[in-house]
Structure 1
Amino acid sequence: MSAIPYSTQHQVSFSPHGREGLFYDIFRKHSWQQAEASIRDKTTGDVLRALDREKRTLEDFKALISPAAKPYLEEMAQRSRAITLRRFGKVIQMYAPMYLSNECQNICTYCGFSLTNKIPRRTLTDDEILKEAAFLKGKGYDHILLVTGEANRTVGVSYLKNAIRLIRPYFSNISIEVQPLDTGEYRELMAEGLYAVLVYQETYHEECYKIHHPKGKKSNFRYRLHTPDRLGEAGIHKIGLGALFGLEDWRTDSFFTALHLEYLRKKYWKTRYSISFPRLRPHSGGLEPKVVMTDTDLAQLIFAYRLLDEDVELSLSTRESPEFRDNIVRLGINSISAESKTNPGGYVVDPQSLEQFEISDERSTGTIAAMIREQGYDVVWKDWEKGFRFGV
């Protein structure tokens, strides 16, 4: 895909109320129903043409995630593996999430931290943050993902700036998965050492989105949709995208995620991108998936993304089973987490606090690292030197 930025005449305007901007203008030109039908109508010929191309389009991506591509999964897997080896080599990057708070002001039907769930709320203190950080550092991690619920008054920008300051001496790569912020707020966090932001749209089905987010700032579909734009304008090093599979048709959500990725690559061409693949997992007051995504479906999607974009980072969390993660490591994924806890203080401070969702792969960091090495790959704990960026 082209790395040429859009013309300056296409500037995006934002407001706290989510005014329409460039990506929404592109997004609304694509009917959900028509996209879903287009994917399901793809033929064997469409799949073969997509496989034969050196550079693939979004229409090719539709073919590769379509039911018609099922007989070609082995070929897709081998091509995905070859592309990943050529682009990234035989390495897998490892990271760990660190949950700082389960405070949240949103109602989300699928999340254990939802405002309506009557659970004990906890936000880590400075000492507790340092204890959790020391545990993860002791395991070898140098990439850490800070996670909170969406509660601006409790875990807003000031709290996040402080948390980044506390752990920056210990980690080269600090990412966050928190409430969407404004461009200036992202710049404040970047000045403290923020490297990347993960922000999942959950679903690109606008009406379905409203059903699952009835209250709170997150209920503003367009404000969340434009979060990657604000990150791009801030000059963030990496943006993570994704949809929560189970809320709506996974194929159609994946097409819109790919559409979003293509738009961002063209407009914010200096920024790196990653895609994650969260499937709906059990939690307190849990929501049953509307659409079930099988392991075979997930593998197909991973291969299709790699065939579409050889540069994008593809990341798989401990939501997935040990068997699936062991088998997919060599076929397109280049970043995984291990030994994850999805509750604030879950590593050391308060292991019994409520999880955001249940993980599936509970193996230790050492076991996962050994599995990667047994498959002939190197584990990457640190892929860049923070001193080059921060002058320390």
Structure 2
Amino acid sequence: MATVKDWTAHVIKQAEIDKYLVDGKDFIDEEKIFEEIEKGKKPDKQRVRDILQKSLEIKILTPDETATLLNVEDPELFHEMQEAALEVKKRVYDNRIVFFAPLYLSNLCVNSCKYCGFRAENKEEIRHVLSMDEVREETAAVIDEGHKRMIAVYGEHPMNGADYIAESISTIYSVKRETPTGNGFNNIRRVNVNAAPMEIADLKKLWRAGIGTFQVFQETYHRERYAELHPANTVKGNYRWRLYAMHRAMEAGIDDVAIGALFGLYDWKFEVMGLLHHALDLERQFGIGPHTVSFPRMQPAPGSFLSENSPYLVSNDAMRRVVAVLRLAIPYSGLIVTAREEPNLKRDLLTHFGCTQTDASSKLGIGAYAKKLKQEENIEKVQFMLGDQRSLDEVIRELANDGMITSFCTAGYRCGRTGDKIMTLLEKGVEGKFCKLNAVLTFREYLNDYASPATREIGEKLIEQELREIEATPFFSKNKLLPTFRSYYDRIARGERDLYM
């Protein structure tokens, strides 16, 4: 068997970088990005309002337009940006918030990222890779919370390479649990993956295993800062291998990809511009932008001085600006805010700034779900510290009280509304209509099977409001969707599960 050193030496395939370059250059032109940010300073109010109108037409912004929004300082004008961002979210995604749970399957890693608790040199970390039996146990515990969507997270190491990931995806899908009320079974219906960049041949293995969205974060788009944080003798030290991870995934047949940056490693305005340029290059080369965009903020990590002392740590106000600008700049993409954030900020970003997805009842320790370990009981096995450790039920109740409906919908993926198909539907506001119906159906399941009495009381009021709105919306009657929807809703209320439009 090859050593870890030998494996590491053969991971990167230079030809699978070069094929996407243009005249030997990648799509991150740092000098140009700084010029765009500088040019956007002291923006004219009317120009800002014209840009907001373009976003409301669900059109991706240009770099110059995005830089203009990044430089808005006037409180009144920023309030207009916030309102426009929320309106864009409503037009594309309605009032839905999609929930998922992260499952960490391994903390083995060959890399040496200075901000991460999993880095190879961290002697405080107790290493473990979940066996398939342990994957089943962890999945069962996640399902028993009421979850139906999962993101499986893996470090970069030969013991958790493509074959292990593919096997664990299949294992997660295989787990079925009887609901607490005895109304049939619940299971994970969508497995997304956050893993290291791979070659096209390995990515095809994940596609055949039924992967949902493939997620790789660039961490920082700034080359010099990237090199400081990721030693050159590691796999992750190759900036371009990571930069084109999503391009290779698209070529491998995975048509739902997700991009992100770790905010706090470098200047937040530069990172927003990097994310936009990434989305634009995916559109240019494949005709499809990212399905979701993430902007996790660096949090304290065991054994990492940098995680708490970076000169680029991002304030709460800056995070609000990050979300508002991303919602306006890439209007069709889902925006993910995670349990890294404290509850109040997370709620604000979901209800007032246009985020569309979040996690809850999250545990980052390897094997922590089945053992029901709290973060402080498993600190030596976590990648970073969470800001929100509330249960799924608590977060659902809070959002329902704010008029936001929880969705566990995975129908679009199983009906083939992915890739370029879903992008067109999102831009036209059609996918959001189907998602509204499916959100109500999956929320009905949750209220019946898992909700606490307090959550059920609030949820019943919200779902009645949603039903009245659906009945009054011409789109549903015009397209003859109401009879099927009513039938599915009644059947779910009587105990059937997993019916979708």
> TM-score normalized by structure 2?
0.71
Kindly indicate whether the alpha-carbon contact (under 8 Å) linking 2:27 and 2:278 is maintained by their aligned counterparts in 1.
no
Shift in Å, 1:40: 4.5
Of residues 167, 172, 178, the one that matches 1:167 is 172
Residue 104 of structure 1: aligned partner: 109
- Give the secondary-structure state (helix, strand or coil) at the position aligned to 1:146: strand
2: CA distance, partners of 1:212 / 1:45: 41
Kindly indicate whether the alpha-carbon contact (under 8 Å) linking 1:232 and 1:271 is maintained by their aligned counterparts in 2.
no
Residue 25 of structure 1: aligned partner: 26
Asked if 1:326 corresponds to 2:340, the answer is no
Question: Which aligned pairs between 1:1-392 and structure 2 lie closer than 5 A?
Answer: 15=14, 18-19=17-18, 21-22=20-21, 24-28=25-29, 30-40=31-41, 42=43, 44=45, 46-53=47-54, 54=57, 55=59, 56-68=61-73, 70-118=75-123, 119-151=125-157, 153-169=158-174, 170-214=187-231, 215-270=233-288, 272-286=290-304, 287=306, 288-331=309-352, 332-349=354-371, 351=373, 352=378, 353-384=380-411, 388=415
Specify the code of the residue in structure 1 equivalent to 2:247. Answer: D
CA RMSD of aligned residues (A): 2.2
Structure-2 change in CA distance of 1:81 and 1:233 (3 Å): same
1: CA distance, partners of 2:321 / 2:30: 26
Kindly indicate whether the alpha-carbon contact (under 8 Å) linking 1:164 and 1:174 is maintained by their aligned counterparts in 2.
yes
Shift in Å, 1:194: 0.4
**Which has more helix, going by share of residues?**
2
- Give the secondary-structure state (helix, strand or coil) at the position aligned to 1:140: coil
2: CA distance, partners of 1:313 / 1:76: 18
Specify the code of the residue in structure 1 equivalent to 2:29. Answer: R
Residue 458 of structure 2: aligned partner: none
- Give the secondary-structure state (helix, strand or coil) at the position aligned to 1:329: helix
Shift in Å, 1:48: 4.0
**Bigger radius of gyration among the two:** 2
Unaligned segments of structure 1, at least 5 residues = 1-13
Kindly indicate whether the alpha-carbon contact (under 8 Å) linking 1:102 and 1:123 is maintained by their aligned counterparts in 2.
yes
- Give the secondary-structure state (helix, strand or coil) at the position aligned to 2:257: strand
Specify the code of the residue in structure 2 equivalent to 1:357. Answer: F
Structure-2 change in CA distance of 1:29 and 1:278 (3 Å): closer
Encode CA deviations 1:143-176: one digit per residue, 9 max, x unaligned.
100111111x210111111101101133211111
Percent same amino acid at aligned positions?
A: 26
> TM-score normalized by structure 1?
0.89
Unaligned segments of structure 2, at least 5 residues = 1-12, 175-186, 417-501
- Give the secondary-structure state (helix, strand or coil) at the position aligned to 2:411: coil
Structure-2 change in CA distance of 1:388 and 1:44 (3 Å): closer
Alignment size in residue pairs: 375
Kindly indicate whether the alpha-carbon contact (under 8 Å) linking 2:265 and 2:313 is maintained by their aligned counterparts in 1.
no
Specify the code of the residue in structure 2 equivalent to 1:182. Answer: E
2: CA distance, partners of 1:327 / 1:139: 24
Specify the code of the residue in structure 2 equivalent to 1:328. Answer: L
Structure-2 change in CA distance of 1:361 and 1:282 (3 Å): same
Specify the code of the residue in structure 2 equivalent to 1:294. Answer: S
Q: Which has the higher contact order (CA 8 A, sep 6+)?
A: 1
